[in-house]
Amino acid sequence: MIRLLVPAALLLGVAALAADNAPPADEKTQALVEGKLPDDPALPLVQSKCLLCHTGDYLTQQRLTEGQWQRTVDKMRRFGTPASEEEGKTIAAYLARNWTTDLPPPRPVRTPPPKGSVPGR
């Protein structure tokens, strides 16, 4: 994962942050697989533009190429998320450097049905 994460971080100009504070690669991978949204200069943008309509697990279960991420963000902008073109690019870059096609599959959570799924409950 180091191979993938570091060049992406460099691109975004957060190399210093990554080098100093990045957890070991396997920990980072595990966090991504478990659906954590890693701290990053782009995170507040993702929280304020993407999580208006859906939770972060919609993002963290995807395993996509850069092009697929950009097209997804473009579609969400057409759907009305209030992000400028520039913000859309920053969001897509954040998603593309974290949830890559070679990341292990997501780790879904088993749970009782949510409220309202069974008559009378």
Binding site for another protein (CB under 8 A): 33, 52-55, 57-58, 61-65, 68, 72, 79-81, 101, 104-114, 116-121
* Cβ contact 8:82 at 8 Å: no
Smallest Cα–Cα separation from 84: which of 110, 49, 34, 111? 49
Q: Which is nearer to another protein, 13 or 114 (CB)?
A: 114
Nearer to another protein, 14 or 68 (CB): 68
Q: How far apart are CA 103 and CA 121, in angstroms?
A: 38
- Residue 56 carries which DSSP code? T
CB of 13 to another protein, least distance (A): 27
Closer residue to another protein, CB minimum distance, 38 or 106 = 106
What is the smallest separation between the CB atom of 30 and another protein, expressed in angstroms? 9
Of 20 and 102, which CB lies nearer to another protein in the complex structure? Answer: 102
Smallest gap from residue 61 Cβ to another protein (A): 5
**Tokens 């450097």 appear where?**
97
What does each C-alpha distance from 46 to 102, 108, 121 come to in angstroms?
Answer: 22, 21, 34
CB of 97 to another protein, least distance (A): 16
What is the Cα–Cα distance from 75 to 32, expressed in whole angstroms?
23
